[in-house]
Chain A
């Protein structure tokens, strides 16, 4: 084993985010294999491991989706390699089918840790699910670190547990841990040599008696409870008071701070091993406390476990939290929500200088700042064309959508009308299009991006072909996973040397749509006409739209040439305003002095797409 020094000095501290800390923890724990699909707020964990892979020798990949990622990691674990699988909350839904079988079959000698990053409040997600229930559903152990330091430390604990009990182990983070920076101890780490076993261990299936495997898993869980009883990552109270605060994840820090702002002395229990919370430990809490308050992000996960034991023991201890209406079930937690929950029970310290000053009339000055497509983003052109087509079809058009940058189409004149899970645009379009049998008269369009196409659209597209429905599927292909920061995928322009490109066009053609059209996204007039003609035709039609991500261009430093200007003598002024009110590129503004459009040179990427938008030809290239 050779030693690789990566950090500046041994045993120093450096500022790192929770996600970077998870990655460094994985390297220190000896993880040799990491798979992932990008998704905020989890992406930087795998990005960091990719960044260090030359030094560590770890195999790190962006898999096609989370299910394949988890299956791949399980394969490596079975062959003896310590494995890690990283995903965002919604990704675990995709991987859940496999997880709820793997828990019974077991992982290999290498162990397998899953890090799932939840997004309370849905800062960058379409829901705010609590993924901890997968630990309960799969009956596997769960850790919830509260700080970047704990994020780094927890990976080794989780991996060790997985190796001992041969079960997958879940670590749950939330946005405010993954994306927070704090000082974390850093030390040099050594590279490992991983030697795979040449054969699979026996019994990697659950038939013919899954209930036997289930029973064995429950027995393991009993033993894991004992390990969690005195786990080093938990912070049990040093002394017991009548009132106990129990907190998990980042709420540990919120509660610790709130305790400084109240008069009463209470005891505090920060729990990191949140499934299963050992019954012995719950029993101790119930015995020593008169009242317990619970603080956790999203659902009443630990609170529920306490309530079960309290009910079994007929405990007189009062339990307060989400179920008593004091702590919200939705949104993100913070110090203020902790104090609000305690309002009727605790006395706030008098600190006049920190009182908020409500100036309610100022609220009326606020205007929203909706997210928009970047200047020059070709997704805008696709939606602009779709809106024109909608007009030509006299509104008889439904557009189902998907997950990616182009999801912003919901904010662009509501031109994308649905958005649920990865691949659900083409899936739901299948059902809508089948209603042609009931005389549905509207045309059906669904759209998805390139990475999403590979992730989850292919079965639904095959279904559409098989059932012979009339729909148009638009694939907005900008050759990268743009939303999460340009990760590679099977069709991406940028690939590792050892990777082989899978062409979207080849896949689509092999499914055999009635018509296949490949078209560029920069010429809005052409795009509108072709889209209109295609949608009007009967049958299954696929348009592969070659798109451009301007951020990716900028990242690769491919500046455009020339410049765009407004010929003010041609601009129709107030009577038109089409470029700013309908097309809406952030690089076009309205000058109230001259009452004409104006190009913001520092934002304009000189793509020229807007030139064709202006009916007066006032937008020109120099």
Chain B
């Protein structure tokens, strides 16, 4: 594993960003590693951009990922994934992103225009090593678990085998943080088997 291994979760307030950070850090602790989480949650309740930095290594680190040293970017929303990518991504970054957009308020007011998600994806492809997009609504709506998007993306990451966090550690960490939850477990399993990207 790259030491430290850096994961950034980017999304909009209310998407389970901070919870995802806790799950990844708990899984890292279960693996005997030393996690550090950096959160910006002042805006998390009011529809703003939220990033959670998760850094996993064998020594304690500062909470912010340096530019270019991002290994996995979990994108809960396309615009926020692009924003985070422009700030932190490098040649090695693997992006796992939901293609379901949440338009900022300026889009309704017509002061801003949300670009086509395809152009966001092609920009990400130019910047990063690999971009795995998922139409999360089509996967989560049938099991009535739209709010488990964060878990779906963690499941995809685990299924791709690109992080130092094992599937079993992640399952147990989810249990620690979320308690027993069938919907989350289902979302995780759907993520594990989603390698259509």
Whether A and B are associated in the same complex: the answer reads yes
Interface residue? A441 (CB, 8 A):
no
Cβ-based interface call for B149 (8 A): no
Binding site for B on A (CB under 8 A): 13, 15, 17, 40-41, 123-124, 147, 149, 175-176, 179-183, 250, 253-254, 256-257, 261, 334-336, 339, 352-357, 359, 361-363, 365-374, 405, 408, 551, 577, 580-581, 584, 586, 588-590, 602
Question: Which residues of chain B have a CB within 8 Å of any CB of chain A?
Answer: 12, 21-22, 25-26, 29, 34-43, 45-49, 60-64, 66-69, 79-80, 82-83, 86, 89-92, 103-110, 112-115, 119-120, 123, 126-128, 146
* Alpha-carbon separation in the docked complex, A575 to B50 (Å): 35
Question: Which partner residue on chain B sits nearest A335 by CB separation?
Answer: B66
Closest to B49 in A: A369
Shortest beta-carbon distance from B66 to chain A in Å: 4
The answer to whether B92 and A356 have CB atoms under 8 Å apart is no
Contacts of A123 in B (CB 8 A): 40, 42-43
Query: Are A370's CB and B105's CB within 8 A?
Result: yes
Do B91 and A353 touch (CB < 8 A)?
yes
Cα–Cα distance between A147 and B104 once the two chains are bound (Å): 35
Do the beta carbons of B79 and A367 come within 8 Å of each other? yes
Selected contact of A368 from candidates B34, B39, B104, CB within 8 Å: B104
Residues of B within 8 A of A361 (CB): 123
- Apart from A357-B126, A368-B106, A588-B108, what are 9 other A-B pairs with CB-CB below 8 Å? A15-B25, A124-B42, A180-B63, A181-B22, A182-B37, A183-B34, A355-B91, A357-B127, A374-B47
Q: Which of A334, A362, A408, A602 contacts B62 (CB 8 A)?
A: A334
Cα A363 to Cα B127 in complex, Å, equals: 12
The residue in B63, B68, B89 that gathers the most chain A C-beta atoms within 10 A of its C-beta is B63
Q: Provide 9 A-B residue pairs closer than 8 Å at the C-beta atoms, listed in order of the A residue.
A: A13-B29, A181-B21, A181-B35, A257-B66, A353-B92, A362-B82, A369-B104, A370-B106, A584-B109
Contact of A408 among B29, B40, B46, B91 (CB under 8 A): B46
Q: Give the residues in chain A near B123, CB-CB below 8 Å.
A: 359, 361-362, 365
Indicate if the CB atoms of A359 and B126 lie closer than 8 Å: yes
Contact of B45 among A254, A352, A551 (CB under 8 A): A551
> How far is it, in angstroms, between the C-alpha of A594 and the C-alpha of B69 when the chains are bound?
44
A335-B68 in contact given A357-B89, A362-B82, A367-B104 (Cβ < 8 Å): no
Which chain A residues border B86 with CB–CB below 8 Å? Answer: 359, 362-363, 366
CB of A303, distance to nearest CB on chain B (Å): 20
On whether the beta carbons of B48 and A335 are closer than 8 Å, the reply is no
Within the assembled complex, what's the spacing in Å between the Cα atoms of A334 and B68?
13
Cβ contact within 8 Å between B39 and A181: yes
Which B residues are in CB contact (< 8 Å) with A369?
A: 12, 47-49, 79-80, 104
Decide: B37 and A580 in contact? CB cutoff 8 A.
no
Cβ-defined contact, B68 with A371, below 8 A:
no
Across-interface contacts of A374 in B (CB, < 8 A): 45-47
A179 contacts B91, CB within 8 Å? no
Q: How many angstroms between the C-alpha atoms of A253 and B67 in the bound complex?
A: 16
Residues on A with beta carbons closer than 8 Å to the beta carbon of B49 = 369
- Contact A336-B103, Cβ < 8 Å, known A181-B21, A372-B47, A580-B109: no
A581–B119 contact, CB under 8 A? no
Across the interface, do B92 and A354 meet the contact criterion of CB distance under 8 Å? Answer: yes
Contacts of B112 in A (CB 8 A): 367-368
Contact A366–B108 (Cβ < 8 Å)? no
A365 partner, pick from B80, B104, B120, beta carbons under 8 A: B120
Minimum CB–CB distance from B150 to chain A (whole Å) comes to 16
Closest residue of chain A to B125 (Cβ to Cβ) is: A359
Name the CB-closest residue of A to B93: A357
Q: A176-B38, A357-B127 are in contact. Are A371 and B91 (CB under 8 A)?
A: no
A335 contacts B108, C-beta separation under 8 Å: no
Q: How far is the CB of A412 from chain B (nearest CB, A)?
A: 9
Our pick among B67, B108, B113, B114 for the contact of A580 (Cβ within 8 Å) is B108
Q: Is B29 a contact of A589 with CB atoms below 8 Å?
A: no
- Known contacts A123-B40, A355-B90, A602 near B146 by CB under 8 Å: yes
A15: contacting residue among B37, B69, B82, CB under 8 A: B37
Specify which chain A residues have a CB less than 8 angstroms from the CB of B29 in the assembled complex: 13, 15, 183
Q: How far is the CA of A581 from the CA of B86 in the complex (A)?
A: 29
Q: Which of B49, B62, B146 has the largest count of A CB atoms less than 10 A from its CB?
A: B62
Contact A179 B105 (CB under 8 A): no
Partner of A581, one of B21, B40, B47, B110: B110
B89–A180 touching, CB < 8 Å = no
Q: Tell me, rounded to whole Å, the shortest Cβ–Cβ distance linking A474 to chain B.
A: 21
**B25 adjacent to A586 (CB under 8 Å):** no
Closest Cβ of chain B: how far from A124's Cβ, in Å? 3
Query: Whole-angstrom distance between the alpha carbons of A41 and B41 in the complex?
Result: 9
Task: Give the residue name and chain of the B residue nearest to A184 (CB).
Answer: B60
Chain B CB within 10 A, most for which of A15, A149, A372: A15
Residues of A close to B115: CB separation below 8 A: 365, 367
> Do B62 and A257 have beta carbons less than 8 Å apart?
yes
Distance in angstroms from A483 CB to nearest chain B CB is 9
Contact A366/B45 with A257-B66, A336-B67 known, Cβ cut-off 8 Å: no
Q: A335 vs B70: C-alpha distance in the bound complex, in angstroms?
A: 13
B105 x A372 contact (CB < 8 A): yes
- With both chains docked as a complex, state the minimum distance between the C-beta of A391 and any C-beta of chain B, in angstroms: 18
Interchain CB contact under 8 A, A182 and B36: yes
Which 9 residue pairs spanning A and B have beta carbons closest together? A124-B42, A253-B62, A362-B123, A181-B37, A180-B63, A356-B68, A580-B108, A367-B112, A335-B66
Q: A335 is contacted by which of B26, B64, B128 (Cβ under 8 Å)? A: B64
A371 pairs with B21, CB closer than 8 A:
no
CA distance A444 to B76 in the complex (A): 44
Report B-chain residues with C-beta under 8 Å of the C-beta of A371. Answer: 43, 46-48
Among residues of B, the one whose C-beta sits closest to the C-beta of A124 is B42
Task: Say yes or no: B79 contacts A181, CB within 8 Å.
Answer: no
A-side contacts of B126, CB under 8 Å:
357, 359, 362
Contact across chains for B109 and A15 when beta carbons are under 8 A apart: no
Least CB distance from B81 to A in Å reads 11
Residues of A within 8 A of B22 (CB): 15, 181
